[in-house]
Structure 1
Amino acid sequence: MTPTLLDPAQTAARLPYPLLVSELAALLKDSSVQAPPRVVQPLPGGGSLFVMPALDARTAITKLITFTPGNAAAGLPTIQGDVVVFDVATGQRRLMLDGPTVTARRTAAVSLLAAQRLAPNTQGPMLIVGAGVQGLAHLEAFAEGLGVREFRVASRRAASAQALVHHAQSLGLNARMVFDADVALADCPLAVTCTPASAVVLSALPRPDGFISAVGAFTPAMLELSAALCQHFAAKGSIFVDTADASHEAGDLLQAGLDVSRIATLADVIRQDMKKPAGPVLFKSCGWAGWDLAAARAALAV
């Protein structure tokens, strides 16, 4: 069987956000899912090679991507690669999905699922810190999945922020660029940080009804949120992580001195049908091959 090779647009078409969110929730209840720790191999020059396998009773995947943060300055993609999808029963390749597209959409869908289940106030406006691929994906996901109509965009590069604002406006959304993310946070019950995570980009305290999804940092050395902000959520609100792997990957939380192993995961929220907690909520997402498996399941279903 010749696998179907999908380009970025074809991959995106197979991963509509409502279906992705549904598959993510279903996967967290599926006892057949296995996802061993990912292999992260440093590359000369500061990049990394990621090898991420996962499987359930019917489907197996491997995501093979490179992450090259230095590419951003040259206008090149920071994430490149593919997701290969296999049939478990026959071992045949079924699909080859565009890796960056899968990564962007499944990450935004995980944030969306967390917001649907945990955010005290889902009305918006929403602050997006970081106007790259993930910023765009989160804007589209929250507009489609939560009906958010108003956005604030902050970025180190004004041109990137303005480009995302123009894209939002082309979708009929109300969006504008802001120069100080900390100041803007006071007006935004929803926020996402999706930067290269090389420095703190958010340190202001959240609103009492605030929800922040922090997705940029996925190693112990990376961070986007100040230690004081993370500690505030621990003392006055709630913190959740995407998976237990965050206990050794969530740089924001680890550098704040928090015991991440004691923090509830998104699987706990779904399996225990947790009610929304009182007070502000921080959701820390580090990534997991299981999310890519959910995307593969969605792509096969379309």
Structure 2
Amino acid sequence: MSFTSPSPAPGTLDAAATAACLPWDALAAEIAALLQDSTVSVPARTVLPLPQGGSLFVMPATDSRVAMAKLITLTPANTGTGRPAIQGDVVVFDVTTGERRLVLDGPTITARRTAAVSLLAAQHLAPQAQGPLLIVGAGVQGLAHLEAFVQGLGVRDVWVASRSAASAEALVLRAQALGAQARTVADADAAVPHCPLIAVCTPAHSVVLSAPPRPDAFVAAVGAFTPAMAELAPAFCRHVAAHGHIVVDSEDARHEAGDLLQAGLDVGMLPTLREALQRQRAPSAGPVLFKSCGWAGWDLAAARLAMRLGTEGAPPTQATP
């Protein structure tokens, strides 16, 4: 019996090549398109505990053309060691042939799709989308949200608050390189009254924002993704619930959004981003809190875009296998 050898699988794309497949505006648009695609199937993610507080995440998703699985580890103990806290890959398959088509850098996918979801939410829900923008937390997600909001919304004034002065200064320099004015601030709460755009991007070990937002504020909170985690003070969340609007990124957030659950809010009654976009109009008045916990559907959107740009456009540079 003879067997036909499959076509050689492509090499793994490194972080830079993965990012090149995911321009901010195009990725936000792909996420919006995915939310209208009835063929998308996203089972609940599997999270397995690892020693020293780490976790292994297994996140599959499919549509009519693409199947993908994200396999990453989160290792908080790596902070400050030079090793990344998030490591892993996103493997993309053609559903018709079963062929593996791409292997994308997992941390890059996670950073860019998270910020692109915040960008999409801001494009549709932010009352004052031009900023100034306050970024709380100057790590990977702080950088991703800086780039997404500067390049996707046209923000030109950025304030950075971080417990690490060196990280805050580095993010300021990056903002300036992108053409924005930028400064560091010692107290995030003191900056809140001056900033109608806020991105809270910390590891969520403790509350970092307590001051109530402006009536025209849009707040994207992305650091807390379990019921035990929180970046926002309970009073902050209750203020927005009473005077404005709260939107969660997916149905999974209804049992994962620690900020909201710890505030005693009925998270199950809050609209998802899909539902908010279907209304096709921005909230009428009051601050908007967009609470994002992550969802494999966002990774699928990134995989779809990378497949399209990688096969129909110029092939991205591949890392050495």
Same fold by TM-score, threshold 0.5 exceeded?
yes
Aligned residue number for residue 176 of structure 1: 183
Q: Partner amino acid for 2:212?
A: L
CA distance in 2, matches of 1:22, 1:265: 17
Shift of 1:98: 0.1
Encode CA deviations 1:242-286: one digit per residue, 9 max, x unaligned: 001011100000000011110000010223324333110000000
Which structure 1 residue ranges, 5 or more long, are not aligned?
Answer: none
CA distance in 1, matches of 2:278, 2:307: 24
Aligned residue number for residue 3 of structure 1: 10
CA distance in 1, matches of 2:132, 2:277: 26
Structure label with greater radius of gyration: 2
| Contact 2:115–2:145 (CA under 8 A) maintained in structure 1 | yes
TM score, norm. by length of structure 1: 0.98
Structure 1 counterpart of 2:33, from 2, 23, 26: 26
| 1:225 maps to 2:250 | no
Structure 2 counterpart of 1:80, from 62, 87, 103: 87
Aligned residue number for residue 119 of structure 1: 126
Shift of 1:167: 1.2
CA distance in 2, matches of 1:261, 1:148: 33
Q: Partner amino acid for 1:255?
A: Q
| Contact 2:53–2:75 (CA under 8 A) maintained in structure 1 | yes
CA distance in 2, matches of 1:212, 1:146: 14
Aligned residue number for residue 246 of structure 1: 253
Shift of 1:300: 1.0
Q: Partner amino acid for 1:9?
A: A
| Contact 1:28–1:271 (CA under 8 A) maintained in structure 2 | no
3-state DSSP of counterpart to 1:73: coil
Structure 2 counterpart of 1:188, from 192, 195, 199: 195
The aligned length equals 302
CA distance in 2, matches of 1:57, 1:22: 18
Shift of 1:77: 0.9
CA distance in 2, matches of 1:88, 1:270: 28
Q: Partner amino acid for 1:248?
A: H
Aligned residue number for residue 111 of structure 2: 104
CA distance in 2, matches of 1:249, 1:277: 27
Aligned residue number for residue 137 of structure 2: 130
Q: Percent identity?
A: 67
Shift of 1:31: 0.4
Encode CA deviations 1:181-234: one digit per residue, 9 max, x unaligned: 000111000001010000000000001101100000000000000000000011
Aligned residue number for residue 288 of structure 2: 281
| Contact 1:52–1:63 (CA under 8 A) maintained in structure 2 | yes
TM score, norm. by length of structure 2: 0.93
Encode CA deviations 1:142-188: one digit per residue, 9 max, x unaligned: 01110001100010110110111111112221111100000011100
| Contact 1:194–1:216 (CA under 8 A) maintained in structure 2 | yes
Which structure 2 residue ranges, 5 or more long, are not aligned?
Answer: 1-6, 310-321
Q: Tell me the C-alpha RMSD between the 2 structures.
A: 0.8
Shift of 1:76: 2.1
Aligned residue number for residue 159 of structure 2: 152
Shift of 1:130: 0.4
